[in-house]
Amino acid sequence: MASVTNMLRLDGVDRSFGGRRVLQNVSFGAEAGRMTGFVGGNGAGKTTTMRIILGVLAADAGQVTWRGVPLTRAVRRRFGYMPEERGLYPKMAVREQLIYLARLHGMTASAAARNTDTLLERVGLAERRNDLLEKLSLGNQQRAQIVAALVADPEVLVLDEPFSGLDPLAVDTVVDVLKERASAGVPVLFSSHQLDVVERLCDDLVIISAGTIRAAGSRAQLRATHTAPRYELVVEQDAGWLRDHPGVTLVELEGARAVFELPRGADEQPVLHAALARGPVREFRPVVPSLADIFREVAL
């Protein structure tokens, strides 16, 4: 855990809409220099949480701090935000509106223009810079939207589903740009439904379900705490006998191949011995649980 001075933190955030509680005691942090994936099902509270971070919605209780200081509009102006509901001015030229947005975040006209041009080049929109936004394809509008979040050199990046609607090539570009920002010392908090993308991208993970945080920490930490040790065994004949082996919980069984879990802290060697006693063993290895596994374990 890094010191609080380089963290975007939420502490005990509550929010209700007309009596329906949407967030309950939400607390987690996004560390500077790391990519933090924010995952949860539909309606779990991701968007509400992000809106509260950006001050678009108010929290009923709790607070959000950056470097230990509660957020004010002046602090938030240095944040970059990509809302879930996308939108820019359809009838305004791409470059012009990005410069406008950068200036609303406090940049000078020349710095805003410089950043806009660099980023448009980077995401492959340089040639369309003077086109009206509405003339762009949806994928290109999405690229412009990402530039809008990055254009003012934000200290903190909060991105709600940044990869939805992007083609695979654009996903790679955006992943590169975000990683660059993270390694420059920016906390990058992003939500996504695409667990494979999150898996590839995030250093830390926050899992939310029904308005409460179920797990938060680095991927390795979460694996260690939230999933039981898992092994794959391939033998010569049917592996069905594993079902009756003490301590084993079968996850998958296909003839000679089986995936099973053992209680935390249990020794796996007795299972291997038992298998060898029955015949040759072709494979025996620990299985690293995927993010989807962790997610299923924690959120459901």
Partner 1 sequence: MNTLAATQLVAAREVRAKLRDRTFLLSTLIFLLAAAAATTLPSLLSGGPATVAATPEISAQLRAAGLEVREVPDDTAAERAVRDGDTDAAVVAGPTVLARDQAPADVVSALSVEPPVRLLNPAPAEPPGAFLVPFVFAFVFLLTSQTFGVQIAQSIIEEKQTRIVEILVAAVSVRALLLGKMIAGTVLALGQIALVALVTVVGLRLFGDSELLDLLGPAIGWFLPYFLLGFVLIAALWAAAGALVSRLEDIGTVAMPVQLVVMIPFFGVVFLSDNAFAMQVLSYVPFSAPTAMPLRLFTGDAAGWEPPLSLALLLVTALAVLAAGARVYEGSLLRTNGNTSLRTAWRERETVG
Binding site for partner 1 (CB under 8 A): 51, 54-58, 71-73, 76-77, 79, 81, 83, 85-92, 100-101, 103-106, 148
Nearer Cβ to partner 1 (20/91)? 91
β-pair partners for 213: 208
Residues 6+ apart with CB under 8 A from 27: 9, 10, 11, 12, 13, 62, 213
Instruction: Pull the structure tokens for residue 206.
Output: 């926050």
Nearer Cβ to partner 1 (85/127)? 85
| Alpha carbon 108 to chain centroid, angstroms | 32
Least separation in angstroms between residue 15's CB and partner 1 is 11
In the sheet that holds 7-17, the strands lie side by side as 20-31, 7-17, 61-66, 69-70
Contact predicate 166/190, CB 8 Å: no
Least separation in angstroms between residue 107's CB and partner 1 is 9
Least separation in angstroms between residue 84's CB and partner 1 is 9
Residues 6+ apart with CB under 8 A from 253: 239, 240, 242, 243, 259
Nearer Cβ to partner 1 (158/298)? 158
Least separation in angstroms between residue 100's CB and partner 1 is 6
Nearer Cβ to partner 1 (104/276)? 104
Least separation in angstroms between residue 17's CB and partner 1 is 9
Nearer Cβ to partner 1 (76/181)? 76
